[in-house]
Amino acid sequence: MTQDKTSLLLDDGRRLDGRELHEIRPITMKSSVLDRADGSCYLTWGNNKIICAVYGPRELHPKHLAKPDRAIVRVEYRLATFSVNERKSPAPRRREYELSKLIKESLDSVLFLEKFPNGTIDVYITVLDADGGTRCAALTAASIALADAGIPMKGFVTGCAVGKVADKMVVDLSDVEDKDGQGDMPVAMNYNTGEITLFQCDGEFTTDEVKEGLSLAIRAIGEVYKMQKDAVLAKYTQIEESIDDLGEEEE
């Protein structure tokens, strides 16, 4: 099939990677991948590869930053030097600081921080391979790592970006669609409560396109949310099976 360079669509209406307009990329998630972290997650989303580690709740240093009525969340989002086409500087970019702040604010809304006064919860996110939609994928991975650490939450934060390509609304933008399309709209939410924790627009959208995009994002987030639950439950299923096997050996 040939590619229409102006539309970023193939002759049959599919996208460049063969997906339908409203189809998300393949996703895998695994919790408890780092022994030294209190909680962790390794996530692949299309060609994105992201690892997240959570430490805490723990005592905050320096102590003058502590809040007497709640814990604070510190998020560090970083792109590995080899994660993009051209080697990036090891020093964090302005965009990495911006995304760290956005991710922190989104996570703050679902955590019971008042249970850990004077403490901190540190979230470290490293993008090993970037291919579009990393902020939504990072939020999704961070939620799993926080749950894996046993930190009380109102629910997972789950993200998925939608956007406009060839005047059509598409789900889960790849890197080329993000860069060369007409606009992108990252969305994250607490799927349990329906609370939207992140909503951004970059590009030009009509009112109807925003409504359609939000509806598509929520539907996709529902699919990803089920994967998050399965990733966290898999750890405890393995523990239960190990206990059962041990009991059978003793008998």
- Residue partners of 180: CB distance under 8 A and separation at least 6: 8
Would you kindly state where each structural domain of the chain is located, as residue ranges?
14-63+70-246
Summarised one tens digit per residue, pLDDT across range 117-141 is: 999 999 999 999 999 999 999 999 9
Hey, what's the torsion of the CAs at 53, 57, 62, 64, to 10 degrees? 140
Which pLDDT score is estimated for 235? 80
pLDDT one-digit tens code per residue, 185-226 = 999 999 999 999 999 999 999 999 999 999 999 999 999 999
pLDDT band at 5 (very low <50, low <70, confident <90, very high): very low
Sequence-ordered list of residues with C-beta below 8 angstroms from that of 115, at least 6 positions apart, any chain? 71, 152
pLDDT tens digits for range 229-238:
999 998 877 7
* pLDDT score at 6: 54
Instruction: Give the chain's end-to-end CA distance (angstroms, integer).
Output: 62
173-191: average pLDDT: 95
CATH code, 14-63+70-246:
3.30.230.70
pLDDT digits (tens, 9 = 90+) for 95-119: 999 999 999 999 999 999 999 999 9
Q: According to the model, what pLDDT value does residue 85 have?
A: 74
Closest by CA position to 153, among listed 111, 114, 121? 111
pLDDT reported for residue 180 = 92
Query: How many alpha carbons fall within 13 Å on the CB side of residue 196?
Result: 12
196: which residues sit within 8 A by CB, 6+ positions away?
A: 187, 188, 189
Q: Is the pLDDT of residue 2 over 60?
A: no
pLDDT given for residue 251 in this prediction: 59
pLDDT of residue 3: 43
Q: Where are the alpha helices (DSSP H) in the chain?
A: 94-108, 134-148, 175-180, 207-250
pLDDT at residue 37, as a whole number: 98
pLDDT value at residue 84: 83
Residue 39 has pLDDT above 60, yes or no: yes
